[in-house]
Amino acid sequence: MTEVHTFRFEDDGETPNNPRLPLIVYRATFALEREKDPAVPFERAFAAHGWGDGWRNGIYPFLHFHTGTHEVLGIARGRATVEFGGAKGRRLGVEAGDVVVLPAGTGHRRIEASGDLLVVGAYPLNGSLDQKRPGEIEHAKALDNVAKVPLPEMDPVHGKSGPLMELWK
């Protein structure tokens, strides 16, 4: 069974984070050694569980957050250190096979990464994609937007019975 870790980040006056929902990290979710294209298992799982607008890239090196949607990041290749929660948040290492589910408002930025880093991202279909940096949106408006984001209909990896469904009730 996949290891599940949760982290909570408070509003720091610059990054709204999410007062209700924890960030979730699923460790070693996919065994990728035999995969010709390691992004495919993430893309298939996310799409099958109602997380769309998928992309392949890395993680931006600047602090940003989404006030209209949640986000999932699947580490298909490589490793990275990512700061979650803004300046007063926490740095976490992620590596191939890991999945990170960020509740709306959670600040994130890449601190360092291996040269081969490949990330698959997606968003619940019931959200509204935006991307903000601190200072690009009035803080009170960001908090209000985050509070209105609906819960996803399914866990992006495990579907209706996944840990997210219990952790984000």
What pLDDT is attached to residue 158?
96
E strands within 49-107? 51-57, 71-77, 79-84, 90-95, 99-102
- pTM, rounded to two decimals: 0.97
Each residue's pLDDT tens digit, 81-128: 999 999 899 999 999 999 999 999 999 999 999 999 999 999 999 999
Protein fold of 3-167: Jelly Rolls (2.60.120)
What pLDDT is attached to residue 1?
61
What pLDDT is attached to residue 107?
98
Structure tokens at 14: 């610059």
Ranges of residues in the chain whose predicted pLDDT is under 70: 1
